[in-house]
Amino acid sequence: MSLEAQVNIVNDEDVIAARQAGRTLAAETGFSAREQAMLVAVITELALNILHHAQGGEVLIHPSEDAGRRGIVVIARDRGPGIPNIKDAVEASYCVAEGLGLGLRGVKALVDSLDILSVPGKGTTVTARKWQS
């Protein structure tokens, strides 16, 4: 499986393109309809984060395999201001969406692992992994 997708996120059209790419890859990886919907929601929230908190960025999606498990990795990279306090972003109410359990907090609840690397002034890279159940 060499398929992967890279979508620049500048407006909502791009969010739709990233969702479409993610849905296709998830279906090819063998994700159930439910798992596909979850992965697409993850991609949407990560892409919306780029739209709302940075002046642009990109979403990369690729299949992954580990010890016989198949999954999808989503990497969201932006050139925004960085997240002042990563713990806050995931655990407390960093913004309206986070307070509602959406955003990174919601993403964390839907995936198997979530890594956030944020450099103040340089941007943020979020890596989310979801395995097929």
Partner 1 sequence: MLSRRRTVTGLQQEYSDALRDYLVRPNEQALRRAYSTGRSTLSNGAGVLGIAALHHQAMKDVIPDLSAEIEEALLIKRAEEVFIESLMPFEMSHRAFREAIAVLRRMNERIEEEAKRIAHALHEEAGGLLASTNLALEELARDLSPKGTERLSLVRRLLDQMDEQLRHLAHEIRPTVLDDLGLVPALEFLADGLSKRSGLAVAVEGSTGGRLPSAVETTLYRNVQEALNNVTRHAMARRVKVAVTREPHAVRCSVRDDGVGFNVSEVIETRGERGLGHIGMRERLDAVKGTLLITSAPNQGTELLMYIPLEG
* Footprint of partner 1 (CB under 8 A): 12, 15-17, 19-20, 23, 33-34, 37-38, 40-41, 44-45, 48, 91, 96-97, 100-102, 105-110
Given the complex with partner 1, which of 3 and 96 has the nearer CB atom? Answer: 96
Whole-angstrom distance, CA of residue 104 vs CA of residue 110: 10
Shortest gap between Cβ of 92 and partner 1 (angstroms)?
A: 9
Given the complex with partner 1, which of 55 and 65 has the nearer CB atom? Answer: 55
Shortest gap between Cβ of 54 and partner 1 (angstroms)?
A: 16
Shortest gap between Cβ of 2 and partner 1 (angstroms)?
A: 23
Q: E strands along 1-133, which residues?
A: 5-9, 57-66, 69-78, 113-119, 123-131
Give 130's DSSP letter: E
Instruction: Report the amino acid identity of residue 62.
Output: H
Task: Evaluate whether 59 touches 18 at the Cβ level (below 8 Å).
Answer: yes
Given the complex with partner 1, which of 12 and 65 has the nearer CB atom? Answer: 12
In 3D space, the residue among 101, 51, 107 whose CA is nearest the CA of residue 74 turns out to be: 107
Given the complex with partner 1, which of 16 and 119 has the nearer CB atom? Answer: 16
